[in-house]
Amino acid sequence: MIVWRDCFDDVEKIELVRNSFKLTSFYEQNPLNESDFKENPQYWFFTTDFTCTNESEEITRKIDINLFSHPYRWIIFVENNEVLRHIRALTDSDVLIAQIINDGFNLKKFYKIEEESSEIYCESYGSWSMQSGIKDERIMKVISQKRENLHGKLITSSYVALNKSSRNHLTDFADKNVDSILKYNYIIINSILDKLNVTKKELFQGTWGYYNVKTKKWSGMVGDIVHKGADIGGKIKRKKGTALFMVAERFPFIDYTTLNTPTRGKFIFRAPQLSAVSNIYTLPFRSSVWFSCLILVLISTILLHLTSQTDNSAVNSEKVNHHKRFTDSMLSTIAAICQMDPSLTSSVTSSRIIMFFIFLAFSFLYAAYTANIVSLLQSPSKNIRTMEDLYNSKIELGIEDTPYNRYYFAAAEGVFEKKVYKKLNPPGEKDHYSKIHEGVARIRKGLYAMIAEETGIYNIMEETFYEHEKCELVNIEFLKFSDPFLAIKKRSPYKEIIKVK
């Protein structure tokens, strides 16, 4: 506990430490700065006494306003409410006021909506007396739920609209596939602001915001929060007062609150036909079956040659000599495989039986092979399951033309990510950026993959694709980010209220 500008004498200080808080510091430094208490701020507890001074306004100006914000806690002893007008405790503060009554203290919490406002709002907490101690009379103990009425406070929201016409169709459900997540989040955020009883102001930007090294300023939506006083910001990927990807360079400038719309950017494509990416003539049988067929041919040829050695029925000795050659037996086997009549025949029963089984075996193999070929001609490939598979395939890669895609792909640091970016932006050629409707049309034709926000692209496909085309869709995640979160001004007093809502 930090006791600042107290009215205790030395004996009372000793008693306070001995009987109450063991870890108590009497802080005499002036002013009171947050920089001295940044380590584990949730454990700091402050108290001060205004009952023995008439300089409350001057004294409170010497307290860093951030020390009145979450998660710091205070107990302030006062004689009346007049001194509270000078304390800059906003809606996220946890300041307990102890007002002297006959035999103890009346306890209440208070806050302001505006920092410089003289209007204060009090919440009953309870009382304290020597006989009964503290009586907690609170019905609701969660501060953020008790301070939902902001009494007309002006709240500025910054929205990102990639399509200018979207500003005219935020709530009428027209063009649902254009800036779809923007429109969804617009309704959600405005519903929250309506419940908070605020006055709304809206700003629109074309990008989410990136840092300019030359000007040392932020652009877009983040720029509205950092430089123009916007209270709430929006998300990356067609969203407004929506949400924003967590990027390390943004942490010092903005805070993130709730995850309101999970989203993913993925390469989406129709699985290509097997004939387009593989040699289908080797696919009907597994390697073990092909190996077994080869063994069957060799064994059949050897047996046919051995049995032909016993054939002496031919009148023409030249014919007999020819039939006894191994190559003749091999040609007879090949003829059987090709379903042709062998040029040389044998009168030996064993040779004829072998030829019969060769014809029979390969007849069954032909039937199975042709049936599988027909099936494979109509089947999509299942071999493209990773980004490496997609990159090395014959499928052309494309990307939705949005500010965040151009930024994040250009900023990718991985070796493989750079290879993909180079394929999307070939040197000396036209890049592969396109509008989402154009990309969907090319996906439908096949051998084309586009990376886009999956909610928007699937909505278009739902309306334009046939059912069998939808069944062939495959998606592969590429750049992996955390889900986007709602952006809010750094150390905003409304952060916890919005998170709870």
Report pLDDT digits (tens) over 303-314: 888 887 776 654
Strand order in the sheet with 25-27: 25-27, 2-4, 45-49, 73-78, 95-101, 104-111, 121-129, 133-136
Residue 260, pLDDT > 70, answer no
Where do the H-state alpha helices sit in 101-244?
A: 143-146, 180-195, 220-227
User: Tokens for 102?
Assistant: 């006959």
Euclidean distance between CA atoms 441 and 51, whole angstroms:
75
Per-residue pLDDT band for 281 (boundaries 50, 70, 90) equals confident
Instruction: Indicate the residue type of 140.
Output: M
What's the mean pLDDT in 335-359? 79
Euclidean distance between CA atoms 386 and 161, whole angstroms:
32
Per-residue pLDDT band for 43 (boundaries 50, 70, 90) equals confident
Per-residue pLDDT band for 465 (boundaries 50, 70, 90) equals very high
Instruction: Indicate the residue type of 148.
Output: E
Q: Give the pLDDT score at 264.
A: 72
CA 335, chain centre distance (Å): 62
Residue 491, pLDDT > 50, answer yes
Per-residue pLDDT band for 450 (boundaries 50, 70, 90) equals very high
* Buried-state track 108-130, b at ≥16 Cβ within 10 A, e below 16: bbbbbbeeeeeeeeeeebebbee
Per-residue pLDDT band for 483 (boundaries 50, 70, 90) equals low
CA 429, chain centre distance (Å): 31
Closest CA to 345 of 335, 364, 337, 300: 335
Mean pLDDT check: name the lowest of 126-140, 150-164, 226-240, 283-297. 226-240
What value, to the nearest 5°, has the Cα angle with vertex 21 and ends 23 and 52? Answer: 105
Closest CA to 284 of 366, 357, 384: 366
Per-residue pLDDT band for 449 (boundaries 50, 70, 90) equals very high
User: Tokens for 17?
Assistant: 């430490």
Q: Give the pLDDT score at 304.
A: 82
Upper half-sphere CA count for residue 184 (Cβ side, 13 Å): 18
Q: What is the mean pLDDT of the chain?
A: 79
Q: Give the pLDDT score at 317.
A: 45
What's the mean pLDDT in 387-395? 87
Residues of the chain above pLDDT 70, percent: 83
Residue 20, pLDDT > 70, answer no
Residue 19, pLDDT > 80, answer no
Per-residue pLDDT band for 12 (boundaries 50, 70, 90) equals very low
What's the mean pLDDT in 233-253? 57
416-441 per-position pLDDT tens digit = 888 888 888 888 888 899 888 899 99
Burial grade of 218 (CB within 10 A; 0-12, 13-18, 19 or more): buried
Q: Give the pLDDT score at 481.
A: 63
Q: Give the pLDDT score at 467.
A: 92
Mean pLDDT check: name the lowest of 4-13, 227-236, 242-251. 4-13
Q: Give the pLDDT score at 24.
A: 53
Upper half-sphere CA count for residue 167 (Cβ side, 13 Å): 12
64-113 per-position pLDDT tens digit = 788 888 888 888 888 877 778 888 889 999 998 888 888 788 899 999 99
Euclidean distance between CA atoms 327 and 382, whole angstroms:
42
Pairing between β-strand 473-477 and β-strand 199-205 as defined by DSSP bridges:
unpaired
Q: Give the pLDDT score at 312.
A: 63
